[in-house]
Amino acid sequence: MWVVTHFGNFVTWLKGRFAFLTHVRSRRNTLIVIAIFTVFFIWTISRFMPHHRQGQLPEAPAYDKVCLSDVLGKWKQAAADGDVVIIHKPSEKSENPYLPFVGNGNVGVVATDSSFMHIALIQPSMKWLKLPFFPIVTAKASNVPKPREATIIDLKKGLVHQLQTYSFSHGCVIVENVIYAHRSQSSVLVQEVVVVNHGHSGIKVLLTHEGAKAWKGSTTKSLSFERTMDPSKAHYTLSHGQVAHVDKSEPDINVTVATSRVPPEMTVQGQSTGILRHLTVVHTSSLFGQKPAPRVNIEKLQEDAEKELRALVSLDSPESLRESHSTAWKELTETGLFVDPRHDPDTPSGLEVNTTMYYVLSSFPSRVNGASNPQAHKDEMEKLLHIPDHCFGGPPTMHSASLWPMPRTESGVTKIAALWQRLLEQNGCSALVKAGAVGINQAITLSFGGLQFSAGHFEFAANPASLHTTIVFRHIHLYEDMDIYLTVLVNAETGHAEKLLVKPVKGGKTPLYACEAGCQYDPVEVGEAEVTFPVRMTRPVTPLLYISHNKSELLELRKHVFIKDAHEESLKNHHVHRRAGLPAKFWVTIAFLIVGFHLYLAKLIYSECFKEKDIVRSKIYMS
C-alpha cells in the first residue's frame, strides 16, 4: 500500500513537471537551451581548428617583426611626445611619411641609398644646392630573408636611424644605420653601420658606396696614411669637381669631398656586434654662400679636406663624434615649444611644430658654437642674440597652417627654410636670423605665440580669445643673463586660457618684474619660484603679459595704455571656438543612462526567469 501511494505521488509529480514544461513559455528555458547549443557548437567547431591538430600551434607573429618592435620600443615614449618620428617600411596607416633629412647648414642629405649630397647657400635666401655625390653606404645582410625595416628621425638629437631586422640562425640580426650631419663640425657627415648579431653563427653584411660615380667632370683618387696609434694604414678617397651656382652671374663652386674607404663586406660573428664608421668631409670655395665668394686655391681646398678627415679617422674615441653632435643639438633645441596633444584644431600639433623647426634648423649653420668659426666671429654672433630688436612683430604663427607643412623632398626643405627666413626678417628678427640656427630657433619660438620685444620690455601679445591649447615656451632668452619658461594653461572644461606661469631658469642679478592686462595691476617681482598670473580680457585687447627689468617702465604703461575694462569673467562668457570634444558632464550623463539601461534589463530578465515561474506553478496547483 505504501509503495502504491508513493508511486501515485511520483506520477502526480511527473504530470506537474510535464504540465509546467508544456504550458510555461519561459524565457529562462529558451536562454538555457540557446546557451547550451552555442557552447556545443563552438566546442565542435574548435575541434577542427589547426591548432588542435597534433603537432600544430597557432600562427605566431614573424620573429623579425617582433625583433623590430622590441628595438623600436626605446623610442615609443619620445614618439608619443612628438620628439621622434617613426616610419615603417611600408608605412603604417597612422604614420606620416616625413623626410629623413639630416643637415647642419653646410651639408645635408636625405638618409636613403639613392640620395645626392647637398651643400647650403644662405644668401640672399636659403637654398640647398645638389652635389652629384652619393654619400650613404648601403648595408644589407647576405643569404637571409627579406628584412623588416623602419626609419627613426630623432628631432632632439639630429639623428636618423635606419633599421633592418632579420631572422637568422635561431636569433635576430639588427642592421642599424645612424646618419647625422655634425652640428658643430659643419663639414662633416657621419654614418655608423652597427650590426648586432643575436644568432648563433656569423653573418655577412654586404657594403656598397657609389660616391662620385655620377659626378661628371670630377676626379677621384685613393690615398692612405699611417695612424699613430694603429699599425694598419687608413685608406680614403679624395674627389674634386665643380657645381654650378644657382646665380648664373656667380662662378662655379669648387667642391672637394674626402671619404673614408668602405670595405666590400663586414662579417659579424654570432652573439657579437660589429661597427663601421663612414666619414665624409666636404669643403667648398663658397662656404655659407658668402658674397663675393672667397678665392680658395684648389690645392688648399684639398689639403684642408684631407687634414680634417685624417684628424677624424685618428680619433682615440670615435664614439665621441656622436656624443659631441648630440650635445650640440641638445643645446640648440633647449629653446623650443611644447604643445599639448589635446590641441585646438586651429593650432599645429607638437609633432608638426617640432618637425618644422627641425628642418629649418638643419638648414642653417651654428654660427655661435661652430667649432670651425673663429672666436671673434662667435663673440660677434653671441652679441646679436642680445639685440632682438622688435622680434617678433607679426601675428602669432600658431594660427598659420601654411607655415607648418610636411616636406616630401629636399626642395620642400628649401622652401620651408626660405619661407621662415623671409618671414622672420620681415617681422623684426633680422639680428636673430643673422646669428644662425640659435637665433632662428629663438625667433620661431617667439613667433609661435606672438611674443615680442618692444622698447625696454617684453610682451606676450596673443589674443586670449584665440588661445585654446596648453603651450610651454622653453628657455626664452630675455636678457644676457636671463632665460624664462612661459606656460599657457587652458581650462579643461571651458577650453579657454586661464593662467600664465612664469619661471626663470637662468636667474640674473637684476630683479625681473611682470604685470598683466596693460599693467592695470601692480607689477610682481619674478624670483626663483614660479609666478602665476590670471589671463584677463581687456577692452580694447592688450598684451596678456609684460616683463621688464625696469619696474617704473611697467608702471608708465598705465598712463599710455587706454583700457575700458580688464577682468577674468569675460573669458567665461566670451563666445569663442572651444576645444574639440564634449564636456565631462555629457559623458557622465551617457554613462548613467547606460548603467540604468543595463540595470533595467537585468530586472526584466530576473522577472521573466523567476517570478513568471512562481506564477505559473501556482496556477497549475490551483487547477
Q: What is the DSSP string of 546-603?
A: EEES-HHHHHHHHHH---SEEESHHHHHS--PPPSS--HHHHHHHHHHHHHHHHHHHH
Confidence (pLDDT) at 54: 39
Residue 620 has pLDDT above 50, yes or no: no
Alpha carbon distance 358, 97 (integer Å): 15
Mean of the per-residue pLDDT values of the chain? 83
Cell of 444: 620661431
Q: Mean per-residue pLDDT for 105-111? A: 95
Rounded to whole angstroms, the Cα distance separating 190 from 328 reads 15
**pLDDT (tens digit per residue) in 318-347:** 899 999 999 999 999 999 999 999 888 889
Residue-range domains of the chain with CATH? 6-48 (no CATH), 63-330 (2.70.98), 335-449 (no CATH), 456-575 (no CATH)
Tell me what pLDDT residue 604 has.
72
* Statement: the pTM of the whole predicted model exceeds 0.75: yes
Residue range 576-606, pLDDT digits in tens: 444 445 667 777 788 778 877 777 777 777 7
| DSSP structural state of residue 158 | T
Where would I find the H helices in 24-80?
27-46, 63-72, 76-80
Read off the pLDDT of each residue in 254-280 and give the average, rounded to a whole number.
95
Confidence of residue 573 (pLDDT cuts 50, 70, 90): very low
Q: Report CA 127 to chain centroid distance, whole Å.
A: 24
Q: How far apart are CA 359 and CA 288, in angstroms?
A: 17
Residue carrying C-alpha cell 660615380? 213
Angstrom distance (rounded) from CA 98 to CA 449: 25
Other Cβ atoms closer than 10 A to 562 = 11
Give the total residue count for the chain: 623
3-state secondary structure of 96: coil
**pLDDT tens string 48-66:** 554 444 333 333 446 667 8
| H or E element that contains 114 | none
In this structure, what C-alpha cell is assigned to residue 562? 587706454
For residues 287 and 129, is the Cβ–Cβ distance under 8 A? no
Which of 235, 213, 231, 211 has the alpha carbon at shortest distance from 223?
A: 235
Q: How confident is the model at residue 26 (pLDDT cuts 50, 70, 90)?
A: low
Handedness of CA 132, 137, 142, 146 (dihedral sign): negative
Residues whose CB is less than 8 angstroms from the CB of residue 240 and which lie 6 or more positions away in sequence, other chains included: 218, 219, 220, 254, 255, 256, 257, 298, 301, 302
Q: Are 259 and 135 in contact (CB under 8 A)?
A: yes
272-284 and 159-168: which strand pairing?
unpaired
> What per-residue confidence (pLDDT) applies to 465?
86
C-alpha cell at 79: 614618439
Query: What pLDDT is recorded for position 59?
Result: 37
- Cα separation, 252 vs 264, in Å, equals 34
Residue 391 C-alpha cell reads as 622680434
Average pLDDT over residues 148-161: 96
**Residue that has been written with the C-alpha cell 667649432 in this structure:** 371
Please give the pLDDT value at position 484: 92
**Residue 497: which of 444, 561, 539, 449 has the closest Cα?**
449
How large is the angle between the packed helices 437-449 and 350-361, nearest 10 degrees? 150
pLDDT in the model for residue 8: 63
Please indicate whether residue 530 or residue 38 has the higher confidence score (pLDDT). Answer: 530
d(C-alpha 168, C-alpha 205), whole Å = 13
Report the sign of the C-alpha dihedral through residues 138, 140, 146, 152, in that order.
negative
Q: Which three cell numbers, joined as nine digits, stand for 135?
A: 654619400
For 487, list phi and psi in degrees, rounded to 5: -120, 135
The whole-number pLDDT of residue 2 equals 46
What's the pLDDT at 65? 75
Q: Which residues pair with 119 in a beta bridge?
A: 107, 129
How does residue 575 score in pLDDT terms, banded at 50, 70 and 90?
Answer: very low
- The pLDDT confidence band at residue 177, using thresholds 50, 70 and 90, is very high
40/251: higher pLDDT: 251
CB-CB contact of 164 with 194 (8 Å): no
Would you state the cell numbers that stand for residue 540, as one nine-digit string? Answer: 580694447
How many Cα atoms sit within 13 Å of 358 on the Cβ side? 29
Query: What are the Cα distances from residue 132, in Å, to 58, 210, 215, 593?
Result: 51, 11, 5, 67
How much is the pLDDT for 587?
72
Residue given cell 547549443 in the structure block? 37
Average pLDDT of the segment spanning 229-256: 85
Interhelix angle 350-361/410-426, nearest 10 degrees? 90
Q: Write the pLDDT tens digit of every residue in 451-492.
A: 999 877 899 988 888 899 999 999 999 887 789 999 999 998
